Amino acid sequence: MMQTTNNESRGLGANLTNLEKYTIYDPVHDEMELNMGPQHPSTHGVIRLVLKMDGEIVTRVVPDVGYLHRSIEKIGESVTYRGFMPYTDRVDYLSAMHANAGWAMGVEKLAAIKIPERAEFIRVIVQEFNRIISHMIALGTFTMDVGAFTPFVYFLREREAINDLLESVCGARLTYNFIWIGGVSHDLPPNFKEKALEYLDHLDKALDEFNRLITFNKIFVKRLADVGVISREQAKHFGLVGPNLRGSGINWDLRKNKPYSVYPKIDFKVAVGKGYKGTMGDSFDRFYCRVLEMFESVKIIRQALQMIPEGDYKIKVSRKLKPPVGEVTSHVESSRGDMNYYIISDGTDKAYRVKIRTGSFNAMTTLEEISPGMFIADLVAYFASLDVVAPEIDR
């Protein structure tokens, strides 16, 4: 059944370009249309992909997003700056600390607030812990998509310990609302350092075990190598960020190249893909970059715990903060890439416009170009390697 998009049915009454020529549901003879629907164990959230297939080979992918659209940008215009912080948790609930930090850094830049150094170190520690658990979920679901169900549960067990650590800090396990404008909401509890260091020693061994079991497993490598190759120019052309960009060989990490907070004082390496088991820029590179990033995060946390100074953990900021008129773009290197907050303020206590550009949004744009010609199993592996979460796309 052919369904064309029609001006009247949209209720817009506007003259839209190229619409009459663009039809989605237009099956050609011998072609199969398969709906990888919003409820699917492999789509990492509610994303719908309409696949047009010739047997097992995908000829075209039409993504249909918007199932998780909560109009967070519109809400940003009707709540105060401080009140918007829990909403940023939900923009990417797997790495909520990064989203919080991006908003806090943006508003602090607008209002020209300088936060104490202990708060900066606490922010770095919780953000790196959050990066570890976000990558655990990403890699765990990746292996689950490819067919190995156990590593996901292994990682959930490791994740529980970190969730307990973060719960001891701020009281929540998933959506923290911990990083506030002006610092952090609570100080670290007294025995946090000992528990964290003890856990990190255990985590090193657990990650080595994961590497031995999965990362260099012959079957796993064969599933991932040379699948979904994105070259260097293509990665920049599609605006990929984070491990997707680094997996294609571009050495760009905001924490090193445009450092913010106290990252200049901390020594760590950036994981860049170089065709470890196949071509540079394939799914295995993206996967392995995430594994290496977990090791680097452990190093960063150890150094930060050693260097953390005593002092205040936050600065008094009024509940109805009124930054001066202006705008700011603040970037934070979240687990899925560079998250860009564009905030325009008009002098009142509510923002005038908030725009959140997330790494997953740009990663979804690669699907239509890279996917034609893949087997459907490869498409699942490729889609999982992009580490897309639905709330980041739709906000």
In the complex, which residues of this chain contact other proteins (CB under 8 A)? 5, 9-12, 14-19, 22, 65-66, 69, 71, 73-74, 108-109, 112-114, 182, 234, 236-239, 250, 252, 257-258, 312-317, 325-327, 329, 340, 342, 344, 346-348, 352-353, 355, 357, 361-362, 364-366, 369, 394
Q: Which is nearer to other proteins, 140 or 391 (CB)?
A: 391
Contact by Cβ (8 Å): 229, 369: no
Closer CB to other proteins, 35 or 329, in the complex? 329
**8-state DSSP, 249:** T
Q: Minimal distance in Å, beta carbon 141 to other proteins? A: 23
In angstroms, rounded to a whole number, what is the distance separating the alpha carbons of residues 365 and 360?
Answer: 9
Report the first-to-last Cα separation within the chain, whole angstroms.
32
Smallest distance, other proteins to C-beta of residue 274, A: 18
Q: What is the distance between the alpha carbons of residues 255 and 279, in angstroms, rounded to a whole number?
A: 26
Nearest distance from residue 255's CB to other proteins, in Å?
A: 14
Return the number of the residue (133 or 343) whose C-beta is nearest other proteins.
Answer: 343
Is 251 within 8 Å of 270 (Cβ atoms)?
Answer: yes
CB-based burial of residue 264 (10 Å sphere; 0-12 exposed, 13-18 middle, 19+ buried)? exposed
The strand pair at 32-36 and 48-54 is best described as antiparallel
Minimum distance from residue 72 beta carbon to other proteins (Å): 11
Count of other CB atoms within 10 angstroms of residue 243: 30
Instruction: Name which of 244 and 297 has its Cβ closer to other proteins.
Output: 244
- In the bound state with other proteins, the residue whose beta carbon lies nearer, of 6 and 306, is 6
User: Nearer to other proteins by C-beta: 115 or 146?
Assistant: 115
Q: Tell me whether residue 22 or residue 216 sits nearer to other proteins (CB atom).
A: 22
User: Which is nearer to other proteins, 136 or 229 (by Cβ)?
Assistant: 229
DSSP sequence for 146-166: HT--HHHHHHHHHHHHHHHHH
With CA atoms as reference, report the closest residue to 187 among 39, 366, 271, 309.
309
Query: Residue 267 Cβ, how far from other proteins at the closest point, in Å?
Result: 21
Q: Which is nearer to other proteins, 139 or 240 (CB)?
A: 240
Query: 333 with 102: CB under 8 angstroms?
Result: no
Q: Which of these, 126, 263, 133, 107, lies nearest to 185 by C-alpha position?
A: 126
Closest separation between CB of residue 77 and other proteins, Å? 8
Nearest-approach distance from CB 332 to other proteins, in angstroms: 13
Question: Considering beta carbons, is residue 5 or 150 the nearer one to other proteins?
Answer: 5
Task: Give me the least distance between CB of 340 and other proteins, in Å please.
Answer: 6
Report, in Å, the least distance between residue 352 CB and other proteins: 6
337 with 138: CB under 8 angstroms? no
Neighbouring C-alpha atoms within 13 Å toward the C-beta of 205: 4
Alpha carbon 140 to its chain's center: 15
- In angstroms, what is the minimal distance from the CB of 256 to other proteins? 11
Which token pair is 83?
């009140």
Give phi and psi for 340, each to the nearest 5.
-115, 120
- Torsion angle in degrees (nearest 10) through CA of 366, 372, 374, 376: 90
